[in-house]
Amino acid sequence: MNESTFPGTQHLPSSMEPIPSTPDPAPATPAEPTPQHTPAPPSPARTVVTPPSNYAEMPRPTAKLTAEDMAPVNDPHGPRNKIGPTGRPLPDLPEVKPPTRRGPAQVIAMCNQKGGVGKTTTTINLGAAIAETGRKVLLIDFDPQGSASIGLGVQPHDLELSVYNLLMQRDITPAEVIQATRVDNLDLLPANIDLSAAEVQLVQEVAREYTLQRVLEPIIPLYDVILIDCAPSLGLLTVNALTASNGIVVPLECEFFALRGLAMLTDTIGKVQDRLNPKLEIVGILGTMFDGRTTHAREVLDRVVQAFDERVFHTVIRRTVKFPETTVVGEPITTYAPSSQAATQYRDLAKEVLARCPVG
């Protein structure tokens, strides 16, 4: 096979077909689209995803947001009618009920080997939004750059113990490393640059791909959701995260070139499913950095829906100027600007994730 051709989703292993056991999100309300919003008829079969050769000529964002752009994209009663940004009718997402019991935790890897796609921001805010429902959430920073730790107000270079120690030292317990955050029900297993050494040191370990799974085992009953913020790489750390997880959320920048990385990622997921962790499923693909001012972002989402169908979240995360601030203040946007559109988007995402991965 000539690897220089774009590896489209026709190469997806058969185990990547939609998994019937995953509960669908709430059934869509009957669509009443206005004619100009009629979605394209669903394609009967998987379509090859190829990036357009002329993406550079795509319309570029203009400088101003219109009122319609600012309207909640996920609001079924808003000015965008009932068609969501993914081109499908928006479901009425069910309100999340308070938990009736604790765990066992759904372990979800937040994974995309492309950097700068909003992965850490999504992990922090999804975690905080799930924690708001009363569920106990653990966020594992699994990136040696420590961005998730920084985003939750922890200085990585001040850490005495981090996830590195938990992985590499048998005498360290999770309780010694896990920290509470300033968000109720949200704990953090922090990371710093030490974790980069694990990538080298784990290579020589027996069952090197199962190290994270082993150390997490005792705390699975203590949490409802464990989110793993992966490094932007498909190296041994990410393979460990995928082996320890039962679900994956893939944040995907709404740009055509993002599709190229997505095919590589699904290949890797297929390998992990085949060889290391058959229970791994894609919980959903999440469009991030969505910019409603161009048709570009919608076209990208159309392609992704063609390939991944109902596994694409109805919720999308828009570009917003609020995000840089939250990194600086060291807390989620759900607590920093709780009634912002961004916070609402993450709560919608939490509803979708909990509908697909019910717990508590």
> What are the residues binding a copy of itself (CB under 8 A)?
2-4, 51, 55-56, 113-116, 144-145, 155-158, 160-161, 164-165, 168-169, 172, 192-194, 196-197, 199-200, 231-237, 239, 256-257, 260-261, 264, 267-268, 271
Beta bridge partners of 312: 285
Least Cβ distance, residue 95 to a copy of itself (angstroms): 38
Least Cβ distance, residue 187 to a copy of itself (angstroms): 19
Would you say 256 or 313 has its CB closer to a copy of itself? Answer: 256
CB 35: neighbour CB atoms within 10 A? 5
Q: SS3 for 247?
A: strand
Q: What does the DSSP 8-state code read for residue 222?
A: G
Least Cβ distance, residue 109 to a copy of itself (angstroms): 15
Least Cβ distance, residue 161 to a copy of itself (angstroms): 5
Least Cβ distance, residue 126 to a copy of itself (angstroms): 23
Would you say 102 or 260 has its CB closer to a copy of itself? Answer: 260
Would you say 186 or 258 has its CB closer to a copy of itself? Answer: 258
- Tokens representing 253? 């920048």
CA torsion sign for 234, 238, 244, 247 is negative
Would you say 143 or 352 has its CB closer to a copy of itself? Answer: 143
- Tokens representing 21? 């056991």
- The one-letter amino acid code at 108 reads I
| Pairwise CA distance, residues 38 & 36, whole Å | 6
Exposure on the CB side of residue 254, measured as CA atoms within 13 A: 30
Q: Are 288 and 254 in contact (CB under 8 A)?
A: yes
Would you say 95 or 171 has its CB closer to a copy of itself? Answer: 171
